[in-house]
Amino acid sequence: SADGGRNLSLDSIPMGLPMSDPTAWATAMNNLGMAPMGMTGQPLLPDFDPALGMMTGIPPINPMMPGLGIVPPPIPPDMPAVKEIIHCKSCTLFPPNPHLPPPATRERPPGCKTVFVGGLPENGTEQIIMEVFEQCGEVIAIRKSKKNFCHIRFAEEFMVDKALYLSGYRIRLGSSTDKKDTGRLHVDFAQARDDLYEWECKQRMLAREDRHRRRLAEERFRPPSPPPVVHYSDHECSVVAEKLKDDTKFSEAIQTLLTWIERGEVNRRTANNFYSMIQSANSHIRRLVNEKAAHEKEMEEAKEKFKLALSGILVQFEQIVAVYHSASKQKAWDHFTKAQRKNISVWCKQAEEIRNIHNDELMGIRREEEMEMSDEEIEDPSEMKETEESALVSQVEALKEENDSLRWQLDAYRNEVELLKQEQGKASRDEDTTKEQQMKLLQQALQGMQKHLLKVQEEYKKREAELEKVKEDKLKVETLLENLKEQESSTSRVCACSQEKECPVEKTLSNSPVKSEREVLLVGIISTFLHVHPFGASIEYICSYLQRLDSKICTAEVEVLMTRLQNTFRQELSGVGASLEKRWKFCGFDGLKMT
């Protein structure tokens, strides 16, 4: 229409949607936290490398990335979510009340690309639904029901978030106000098997990519394998034999020879060749012995140099210590200050400690040399004997080599027998160990039960002691109640006698400080309580005792009663300053004399 103004560019396809404000849709998408122009997003697989079987060029994971199935973050509070009227060709969408809470949605299924749309007008068609929701992205399929709802499947996951933005909008077909042409849209996530299957395939592909990446990293850090040993042949045998004669290539050739012998390449045809190679390997023993002797000689020379240098260092240390000692004598010592004397004494101690350490090291070297010299003296006569018997040994070596092969075979058989015995022994030991472990567990359980029983017994004894205390308190209370009853009987007798007397006596009684029988009982109980406490008691202590008998007694009532009876109770102050305390004492015996 002519009032439409400008058209929005979605997926680079001009849709020609008339709106009340040209930037209404852009504002809505910005409030949702999405880019207003790139509504279709990036493709899931921008490029795929078939040689590696993995995706390349994937950007870092972002909560707003398409295809991750993550709900976009909430709208910040400082940005007002302004939803405006959206005009389409056949219908108009009116925004909900901005003060109402956002519409509720179910939990988002993984890989969700399908939405449920409810509240459609009864006269709504698939064409109208397509017209409204194709603004959110490419629609793959629409499944409409007869009961005013439908399911819409989009091409990408991020399009579902744009469709949820329309939830709560009121839709009106054309300019009609009929109920069948109006409705309130409710958009929610829908669970579809196709979406779940595609999401699982994508997760498997990502897992394969991760495994491949980890395998490449492991292979990068794996140490290189040793070079393979060539198979035996006459040509390779001649090459190895030449290498065995060369000192620089001996280690490589001897490894090849060892591998061939372990593989079982020795037979009647190749025995002579292997014997010649073994013989050439044996010729290197003299070279190795000479090298060892040369290294030992170098080590001895280095030891001598070290010993000479150490002895020179010790001489210098002795000279430095002598300087410190001469400076510590009284002739020079008196001329130094306290700080200088302290530094000289500290330096002297340090120099003596270092000198002693180096001296012990030099003495240790000399002891080792003496021990070596004594060992050589002991070995000298044996060397003389060896030179005499060398002729006999050379004759016996041939026989020893023949016997060695037989011994090795016997040792192999013995080792197999011992291994079998050890396996049987291990089985029996394992059974014994399991039994021992079970016994230990049972012992630990018994110990735990014994500790628990001891705790229960201790608690039982404590409870018995508490019960005995309660019984004693109960007996005391009963005795006090009996005393109170006796006092009540005596007071009743006194009252009877007083009734028989004349009127002046009645006037004096009416003027007495005790006004009721309850106060008389209180006076009796308080007097017996204070009689037991000759040093007095505070009003709180007295009231706590009385409240055990009657919880309705208050402190003010007791204090007023005791102040009225000045000849029976006396208040005294004890302590000084913050520890000042008021105490009530029983003075009935003294008050009787005064009255």
Each residue's pLDDT tens digit, 173-202 = 888 788 888 999 999 999 999 999 999 999
Cα–Cα distance list, 502 to 499, 507, 509, 510 (Å): 8, 9, 11, 13
Sheet holding 114-118, edge to edge: 139-144, 149-154, 114-118, 186-189
Which bin fits 122, alpha (ψ -120 to 50), beta or left (φ > 0)?
alpha
- pLDDT at residue 212 in the model: 95
| Nearest in space to 493 (alpha carbons), one of 520, 519, 468 | 520
Q: Which run of H or of E encompasses 453?
A: helix 338-500
Domain ranges of the chain: 86-201, 234-291, 306-369, 517-592
Q: Encoding tokens for residue 106?
A: 């179910």
Mean pLDDT for back-to-back runs of 10 residues, the chain (595 residues): 34 36 43 41 39 37 39 42 82 88 89 93 89 91 90 93 91 85 92 92 95 92 81 90 88 89 89 90 89 91 88 88 87 87 90 88 83 63 55 67 74 78 80 85 88 88 88 89 84 62 46 77 88 85 87 85 85 76 83 72
Residue 439 has, within 13 A of its CA and on its CB side, a CA count of: 6
Q: Do the beta carbons of residue 255 and residue 243 sit within 8 Å?
A: no
Q: Do the beta carbons of residue 38 and residue 165 sit within 8 Å?
A: no
Residue range 543-592, pLDDT digits in tens: 988 888 888 888 888 888 888 888 888 888 877 766 778 888 888 887 77
> How far is the C-alpha of 178 from the C-alpha of 552, rounded, in Å?
77
> How far is the C-alpha of 150 from the C-alpha of 120, rounded, in Å?
8
Q: Do the beta carbons of residue 115 and residue 187 sit within 8 Å?
A: yes
| Nearest in space to 92 (alpha carbons), one of 159, 161, 165, 169 | 169
> How far is the C-alpha of 240 from the C-alpha of 230, rounded, in Å?
11
> How far is the C-alpha of 152 from the C-alpha of 144, rounded, in Å?
8
Q: What is the DSSP letter of 56?
A: -
Q: Encoding tokens for residue 32?
A: 């949702």
Distance of CA 476 to the CA centre of its chain: 60
> How far is the C-alpha of 97 from the C-alpha of 102, rounded, in Å?
10
Can you spell out the DSSP letters for 119-183?
A: ---TT--HHHHHHHHTTSS-EEEEEE-TTSEEEEEESSSHHHHHHHTTTT-EEEETT---GGGEE
Q: Encoding tokens for residue 120?
A: 């459609």
Distance of CA 171 to the CA centre of its chain: 54
Q: Which option is the CATH number for 86-201: 3.40.50.2300, 3.30.70.330, 3.10.20.30, 3.60.110.10?
A: 3.30.70.330
- pLDDT at residue 238 in the model: 92
What dotted CATH number matches 517-592?
A: 1.10.10.10
What is the end-to-end Cα distance of the chain in Å, rounded?
120
Map residue 84 onto helix, strand or coil: coil
Compute how many other C-beta atoms are within 10 angstroms of the C-beta atom of residue 570: 18
Q: Is the dihedral of CA 113, 118, 121, 123 positive or negative?
A: positive
Residue 94 amino acid letter = F
